[in-house]
C-alpha cells in the first residue's frame, strides 16, 4: 500500500505542476512582467507557435499584458481590448475614457487600467467596473502590484498605494515633480522617478521617503531591480546603477567623461547579472559595474523595452524591424520587417512575442521558427574563364522573417550578398553552395558551374584575323582622309575659276568725263550700282553718247 500511495502522490504532484506552474509562470501580468521590471518570462520555450497580425485600431503605445491565454491591451482611442492569444480574435472590449496609454495590470480576474486621471478595476467575468480611483492629475504610467497593494504615480506629483480589492487609498506621498513612469518594488522599497530628475526610494507599506538621488535629467523610464541594485535611464542619455538601500550612485553609463547617448526611453530589463536597454541601438551592460558587454546597432531609435525568454531577447524599433538577439552575445537570430513603426515594448507568453505598432496592428511572432526557408534556383551554369557570373536564387521564408545568404563558390572565395557576381580565372568544374537562413533554420542549395577555357574570338579564328582587321581599319581611315583632301582641292579650284569672270569693285575700270558737242557728259562708273561687277557690254546710254560723238567729229 505504501508503494501505491507513493506512486499516487507522485502522479498528483506531476499533475499539479502541469496544471498550475506553466500557467502562472508564463503570464506577463503587468508592464515589465513583474514588480521588479525584470522583463523576463521564466517558462522555457517549447517549440514554434502559430503567428498572426490583427488590426486593433488606435495606436498601440504599450505592450499587452497576458493572462489566462488572453491578451489585455489599451488603445489610444480609450478602449480595453481582450484578444485571444491563439488567433488574434477580439473577444470583447470596453470603453473607459479618451485614451489608454499604459499596460493594464491583470490580477484576481480583474484588469486595472488607467485612463485619464482615473484607475479602473474591470471584472474579467462580466466586463463591469468593480471600482475606480480618481487622482488629481493624469495617470500616465502602468500600475504595479505587490502584496495586494497597487502602486501608481500621477502628473499631480503624487504616488499612490491602493487596496487591490476595494480601490481604497492606503497612502500617498507628494514628490518634487510629475511622475510619468511606473514604480518598481522589491522587498520593502518602492523606487520611482520624476521629470525633474529625482529618483526616490520609498517604504512600501508606510509610504515614507527612505532616500532620494538627484540624477540631473528627467527620469524617462521605470527602474529595474537586480538584487541590491536598481537601474534607471534618463532623458539626458545616461543609465544609472544605484544601491537599493541608500540610493548611492554606484555607476553611470556612459561615464561622466564620455558623451551621452540619445535619450533613453526604454525601461531596462535584467537577467543573470546583465542589464539591457535601448537608445540608438540595444546595449548590454554588467549589473555590478556598468561596463559594456555588447552593443547591437538598430536602424533607428529603440523606444520600447525588450523582452527576455530563454537565451533570446526581442525588441522593436522605429525602423519597423522586430529583432530577436542572442542575449549573451547580441548576435541577431532573426529579423521581421513590418510596414509600421514600433514604439511599444514587447511582451512574451509561452512561445510568442507580442508587440503593437503605430499602425494599430498587434503582431504575434513565434520566438522559434517552425519551417526552414524555401529556396529555388538553377542546378547548373556554364561560362568561360574570366566571365562574370551572376548567382541568384529565389528564396522566401514561411514565417516572413528576413533572410541571410552565405555563398561558397568552390574556389576558396565566399560572399554574403543576395545576388553576388563572381568569375573563375581557370577552366574546370566548380561546386557552388548557398546557405539561406532565417536565423534559426537554414536551407542549402547547390549549383554546378562548368567553366570552359577562355577563347580569343577573331575573323578567321586566330590572332591573325584580329591583326588583319586592324590593318583593314587603318587603310579605310587613310582612304577617307584622301577623299576629303581631294574634295577640298576640287572645291578650291572651282572657287578660283569663278573669281576670273568677275572684276572686283576696287579693280573695275573708271571712265573720264566725255566732251560731247561742248557739253561734258559724266561717264558712268562701273563700280557703282547693281551692274558694277559686270563691265561688258557697256550700258546703252554710253553707246548712244559714243555714236553722237562720232557723228560730230
Its CATH class, for the domain covering 67-174, is mainly beta
Query: 236-264 pLDDT, tens per residue?
Result: 999 999 999 999 999 999 999 999 999 99
Q: In CATH terms, are 176-297 and 374-452 the same topology?
A: no
Q: Which CATH class is domain 300-368?
A: mainly beta
Q: DSSP labels for 254-322? A: S-TTS---S---S--EEETTEEEEESSEEEEEETTT--EEEEEE-SS---SPPEEETTEEEEE-TTSEE
CA distance 67 to 452: 65
pLDDT at position 300 is: 83
pLDDT digits (tens, 9 = 90+) for 83-137: 999 999 999 999 998 888 899 999 989 999 999 999 999 999 999 999 999 999 9
Burial classification of residue 553, based on how many CB atoms lie within 10 Å of its CB (0-12 exposed, 13-18 middle, 19 or more buried): exposed
Please report the pLDDT score of residue 483 as a whole number: 75
> Span 481-499, mean pLDDT?
65
Q: If DSSP codes are grouped into helix, strand and coil, which group holds residue 12?
A: helix
Task: Give the integer Cα–Cα distance in Å for 19 and 47.
Answer: 19
What does the pLDDT average to over 150-162? 97
Taking the CA atoms of 170, 173, 179 and 184 in sequence, report the sign of the dihedral they define: negative
Retrieve residue 477's grid coordinates. Answer: 581611315
Q: What pairs with residue 482 in β-bridges?
A: none
Residue 129: partners with Cβ closer than 8 Å, 6 or more residues away: 120, 121, 122, 123
Q: Is the pLDDT of residue 468 over 70?
A: no
For residue range 41-69, what is the model confidence (pLDDT) as tens digits? Answer: 888 888 888 899 999 877 777 899 999 89
Give the residue from 290, 286, 288, 292 showing the smallest Cα distance to 274. 286
Among 96, 103, 20, CA closest to 354:
103
Q: Whole-model pTM?
A: 0.74
Nearest to 68 by CA among 14, 112, 107: 107
In a 13 Å sphere around the CA of 6, the CA atoms on its Cβ side amount to 3
The CATH code of the domain at 176-297 is 2.40.128.630
Distance of CA 169 to the CA centre of its chain: 45
CATH class of 374-452: mainly beta
Rounded to whole angstroms, the Cα distance separating 95 from 84 reads 19
Which of 24, 41, 43, 44 is CA-nearest to residue 33? 41
> Which residue(s) pair with 229 in the sheet?
226, 243
Domain ranges of the chain: 67-174, 176-297, 300-368, 374-452, 505-551
Question: Bridge partners of 201?
Answer: 191, 211
Name the nearest CA neighbour of 399 among 97, 52, 44, 8. 52
- Ramachandran assignment for 241, one of left (phi > 0), alpha (psi -120 to 50 degrees), beta (any other): beta
- Cell readout for 303 is 523606444
Bridge partners (DSSP) of residue 315 are 323
Percent pLDDT > 90 in the chain is 66
* Bridge partner residues of 17 (DSSP): none
From 211, 208, 247, 241, select the one nearest 226 (Cα to Cα).
241
Per-residue burial over 174-185, b if 16 or more Cβ lie within 10 Å, else e, is ebeebbbbbbbb
DSSP conformational letter for 234:
B
Backbone angles phi, psi at 22, to 5 degrees: -60, -40
Give the closest residue to 202 by CA, choosing from 177, 228, 175.
175
C-beta neighbour count of 489 within 10 angstroms:
9
Whether pLDDT at 510 is above 50: no
Amino acid at each position: 500500500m505504501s508503494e501505491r500511495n507513493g506512486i499516487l502522490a507522485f502522479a498528483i504532484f506531476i499533475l499539479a505542476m502541469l496544471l498550475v506552474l506553466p500557467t502562472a509562470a508564463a503570464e506577463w501580468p503587468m508592464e515589465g512582467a513583474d514588480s521588479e521590471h525584470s522583463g523576463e518570462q521564466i517558462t522555457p520555450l517549447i517549440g514554434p507557435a502559430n503567428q498572426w497580425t490583427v488590426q486593433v485600431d488606435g495606436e498601440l503605445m504599450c505592450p499587452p499584458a497576458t493572462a489566462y491565454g488572453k491578451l489585455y491591451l489599451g488603445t489610444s482611442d480609450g478602449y480595453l481590448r481582450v484578444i485571444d492569444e491563439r488567433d488574434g480574435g477580439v473577444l470583447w472590449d470596453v470603453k473607459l475614457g479618451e485614451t489608454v496609454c499604459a499596460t493594464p495590470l491583470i490580477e484576481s480576474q480583474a484588469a486595472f487600467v488607467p485612463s485619464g486621471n482615473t484607475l479602473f478595476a474591470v471584472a474579467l467575468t462580466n466586463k463591469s467596473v468593480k471600482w475606480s480611483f480618481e487622482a488629481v492629475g493624469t495617470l500616465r504610467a502602468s500600475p504595479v502590484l505587490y502584496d495586494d497593494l497597487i502602486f501608481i504615480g500621477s502628473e499631480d506629483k503624487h504616488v499612490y498605494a491602493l487596496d487591490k480589492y476595494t480601490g481604497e487609498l492606503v497612502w500617498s506621498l507628494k514628490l518634487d515633480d510629475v511622475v510619468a513612469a511606473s514604480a518598481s518594488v522589491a522587498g520593502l522599497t518602492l523606487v520611482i522617478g520624476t521629470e525633474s530628475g529625482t529618483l526616490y526610494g520609498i517604504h512600501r507599506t508606510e509610504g515614507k521617503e527612505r532616500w532620494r538621488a538627484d540624477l540631473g535629467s528627467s527620469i524617462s523610464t521605470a527602474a529595474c531591480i537586480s538584487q541590491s541594485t536598481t537601474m534607471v535611464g534618463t532623458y539626458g542619455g545616461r543609465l544609472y546603477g544605484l544601491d537599493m538601500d541608500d540610493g548611492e550612485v554606484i555607476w553611470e553609463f556612459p561615464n561622466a567623461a564620455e558623451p551621452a547617448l540619445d535619450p533613453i526611453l526604454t525601461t531596462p530589463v535584467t537577467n543573470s547579472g546583465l542589464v539591457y536597454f535601448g537608445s540608438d541601438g540595444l546595449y548590454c551592460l554588467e549589473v555590478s559595474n556598468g561596463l559594456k558587454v555588447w552593443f547591437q546597432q538598430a536602424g533607428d531609435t529603440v523606444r520600447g523595452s525588450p523582452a527576455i525568454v530563454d537565451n533570446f531577447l526581442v525588441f522593436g524599433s522605429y525602423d519597423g524591424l522586430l529583432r530577436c538577439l542572442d542575449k549573451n552575445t547580441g548576435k541577431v537570430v532573426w529579423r521581421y520587417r513590418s510596414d509600421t513603426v514600433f514604439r511599444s515594448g514587447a511582451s512574451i507568453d509561452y512561445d510568442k512575442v507580442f508587440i503593437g505598432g503605430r499602425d494599430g496592428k498587434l503582431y504575434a511572432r513565434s520566438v522559434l521558427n517552425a519551417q526552414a526557408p524555401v529556396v529555388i534556383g538553377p542546378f547548373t551554369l556554364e561560362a568561360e574563364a574570366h566571365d562574370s557570373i551572376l548567382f541568384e536564387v529565389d528564396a522566401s521564408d514561411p514565417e516572413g522573417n528576413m533572410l541571410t545568404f552565405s555563398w561558397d563558390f568552390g574556389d576558396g572565395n565566399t560572399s554574403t550578398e543576395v545576388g553576388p557576381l563572381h568569375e573563375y580565372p581557370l577552366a574546370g568544374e566548380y561546386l557552388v553552395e548557398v546557405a539561406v537562413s532565417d536565423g534559426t533554420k537554414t536551407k542549402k542549395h547547390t549549383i554546378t558551374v562548368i567553366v570552359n577555357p577562355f577563347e580569343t574570338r577573331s575573323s578567321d579564328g586566330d590572332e591573325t584575323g584580329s591583326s588583319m582587321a586592324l590593318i583593314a581599319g587603318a587603310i579605310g581611315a587613310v582612304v577617307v582622309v584622301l577623299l576629303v583632301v581631294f574634295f577640298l582641292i576640287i572645291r578650291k579650284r572651282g572657287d578660283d575659276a569663278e573669281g576670273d569672270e568677275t572684276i572686283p569693285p576696287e579693280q573695275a575700270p573708271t571712265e573720264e568725263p566725255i566732251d560731247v558737242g561742248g557739253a561734258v557728259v559724266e561717264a558712268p562708273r562701273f563700280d557703282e550700282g547693281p551692274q558694277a561687277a559686270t563691265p561688258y557690254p557697256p550700258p546703252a546710254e554710253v553707246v548712244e553718247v559714243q555714236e553722237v560723238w562720232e557723228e560730230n567729229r
